[in-house]
Structure 1
Amino acid sequence: MTEAAQDGRRTRITTRLRELRFDAGSLSLNLIATVGRRPSTPIERMGDIERLRSWCEGVGLTVHPEEDMGRLLTALHELRACAYDVAAGYLRGQAPRRESVRLLNRLARVNPPAPRLEVGGDGLPATAGDAGLSAPALLSLIARDLITLLSDPARRQHVRTCDAELCRMIYLDAAQGRPRRWCSMQRCGNSAKAARHRRHREETAASALP
């Protein structure tokens, strides 16, 4: 467990805070979620190659074994910053930086590999041999995902920010009915309810004092 300081405040960085999140609702939002607690006390969750490999596995992407993972990590960090700028700007009703838009469009121009069907001897679809994605193809998939998401009026209206002040994760709300307030009921939702009950008990106890 470590601590991070920003603006005179310290945040205890627990193992859970550093956990990779795969529940943001889309590939690009899962990449944005590799930084936690934006913008108050950012926590890096994908700071090395081992964590990069874990993230790729978690989102179901395979990288070609000959790719330079260090360079890919740097490129993903750059893409992540631009993706956050664009997504957060949309939620705030503010235009993103021009360089963010340029990078997303440039990366998206690369054509990702076309899906390939392999059929086994029994006539059933079989798993195709996968050599893995090149770095440009992987970056293109993520950039295209964000562009497609925010360009679709029906989907982008479900992009939200977690109500928890210390989380603020951007996620795609796929739930039907009432909009979700938190990225996860099991995480921020339960924490918010526990805090609300605690405040209620404290206020009740204080009002009972003579």
Structure 2
Amino acid sequence: MATDDMWIWDGGRVCLDLVNTLRNRWRTPPAETLQSSGDLVLWLQEAGLLAPDPPRSAAAAVLASGLRLRETVDRAVLAVADGRLPAADDIMALNRSAAQAPRPALQIAVTDGRLEPAGTTNLATDPAVALALVAQDAVDLLLSAEIRRVRVCGADTCALRFLDRSPAHNRRWCSMARCGNRTKVRLHQARARRSEHTPRG
């Protein structure tokens, strides 16, 4: 079973964090962190979408649909980020999944004498409904201007997806602490080795 430290939360959107549960997509086979329905249930809870102790019968059947949703989201997001339309089957699958959960009613509150949106908790009690919330997030992303800011990590050994919210829109790494620093260290070591082997006049 996967542990929560295996999961990376640098996507910037919950739908991208789900996509990133499949690691090292450039390898054959890639590294799967959702190997059981229990893994997916735990991931949905860690993502803040699923209440504790969902019904066992509901949890057992959710893994296959979760993995299908993950790959549908990935294909659709990468297509639109690249200026293309997603496949009709992917649009249909996202719409069908997103419709499985009602949207929470908009709530308001008075803060410092003005109206503002109130924070709402949207914890599902069923894993299938929690997955529908992921699909809704993907639909929101696909229809937003932020879709043009979806990136794939620039590290040769990564391929995680993330939303570039940097001020200059030039973020290259899923995480500077992880891939950015590793890449810089590797490049520095390669330069040092080359300079050692360069003949000095």
Residue 106 of structure 1 deviates from its aligned partner by 1.0
Aligned to 1:173: 164
How far did residue 199 of structure 1 move?
Answer: 0.8
2:7 corresponding residue in structure 1: 20
Aligned residues: 185
CA offsets 1:50-81 (integer angstroms, 9 cap, x no match) = 32233123211224622521211111011011
Separation of aligned partners in 2, 1:107 and 1:194:
43
1:201 maps to which of 189, 192, 197: 192
Question: Paired residue for 1:47, among 25, 35, 51?
Answer: 35
In the alignment, structure 1 residue 147 sits paired with structure 2 residue 147: no
Aligned partner letter, 2:173: W
| 1:129–1:20 distance in 2 versus 1, CA, 3 Å | closer
Amino acid at match of 1:104: L
What TM-score, normalized by structure 2, do the two folds share? 0.79
Q: For residue 105 of structure 1, report the CA deviation from its aligned partner.
A: 1.0
Give me the identity figure in percent: 27
Structure 1 pair 165/68, CA: closer, same or farther in 2 (3 Å)? same
Q: Which residue of 1 aligns with 2:114?
A: none
Q: Which has the higher contact order (CA 8 A, sep 6+)?
A: 2
Q: How does 1:37-116 map to 2 (within 5 A)?
A: 37-41=24-28, 42-63=30-51, 65-66=54-55, 67-112=57-102, 114=104
Q: Give me the whole-angstrom Cα distance separating, in 1, the residues matched to 2:125 and 2:85.
A: 32
TM-score (norm 1): 0.76
Q: Amino acid of the residue matched to residue 84 of structure 1?
A: D
Structure 2 gaps of 5+ residues are 108-119
Aligned residue type for 1:70: A
Shift of 1:84: 1.0
Q: CA RMSD in A?
A: 3.0
Secondary structure of 2:154's match?
A: coil
The Cα offsets for residues 6-32 of structure 1, whole Å up to 9 and x where unpaired, read as xxxxxxxxx99x811112111100100
